[in-house]
Amino acid sequence: MFTHPLADGVHLRTLEPWYADEFAAHLDRAREHIRPWVGPSFVTETVDEARATLVRYAEATARDEARLVGIWAEGTLVGGLMFVDFNAAGGTAELGCWLEPAGEGRGLITTAGRVMLDWAFTQRGLHRIEWRCRADNVRSAATARRLGMTHEATLRQAWLNGGIHHDKQIWAILADEHRAARASA
């Protein structure tokens, strides 16, 4: 099993289908907090729907097209990150995240994001990783900035959520930029 320590009592782990009950309980705590910012297919309501999401990501991982990892703090799942789109042949990916309120303010997403970037750039040889968020999601944009990403564009009314078209920001970092930032840290 993949486990990576992030801080004292905090671990990053592959979020697999057998975590469905725990993932569903976590989404019960996180659902209304994350609903405005993530795709509706991710915000599940039942254990069966949670399992289906985890199976969908496991199957995409098996095809080398996505990844899903959870962040456990003191033994409780509090959030995670995902490569929503992972294209090893093309050298690109999109990284996303979510976090329940109990996990906020501790730098968990930034720390875990660096681990994910390191893995994708060094182990998998990717060239470019994007971060996409609603333009009014100030916290997500700040995380992209802390990860060393550059704001490249704002797509006007490009994301439909809750019946409303929202502007979407695109942030990105290149492998060379990531290596340079890590070397100077």
Over the chain, what is the mean pLDDT?
94
Give me 170's structure tokens.
Answer: 């695109």
Please report which confidence band the pLDDT of residue 41 belongs to, taking 50, 70 and 90 as the band edges: confident
Please give the Cα distance from 107 to 111 (Å, whole number).
6
Going from N- to C-terminal start, the domains of the chain cover: 3-184
Confidence at residue 70, expressed as pLDDT on a 0 to 100 scale? 97
Nearest-angstrom CA–CA distance, 171 and 154: 9
Q: Does the pLDDT at position 40 exceed 80?
A: no
Give the residue-averaged pLDDT of 170-174. 98
Work out the average pLDDT over 138-162.
96
Q: Which amino acid is at 103?
A: G
Entry pTM: 0.94
Q: Residue 8: its pLDDT value, please? A: 93
Show the DSSP H helices in the chain as ranges.
20-34, 47-62, 108-118, 138-146, 175-184
User: Which residue do the tokens 């910012």 mark?
Assistant: 37
Check pLDDT > 80 for residue 2: no
Question: For 58-96, what is each residue's pLDDT tens digit?
Answer: 999 999 999 999 999 999 999 999 999 999 999 999 999
Q: Stretch 108-135: mean pLDDT, rounded?
A: 97
Mean pLDDT of the region 18-45: 89
Quick one: pLDDT at residue 1?
A: 53
With CA atoms as reference, report the closest residue to 96 among 58, 71, 130, 63: 130
CATH 3.40.630.30 fits 3-184, yes or no: yes
Q: Does 21 or 183 have the greater pLDDT score?
A: 21
Q: What angle do CA 62, 173, 10 make, to 5 degrees?
A: 60
Per-residue pLDDT tens over the stretch 48-68: 999 999 999 999 999 999 999
Q: Say yes or no to pLDDT of 171 above 60.
A: yes
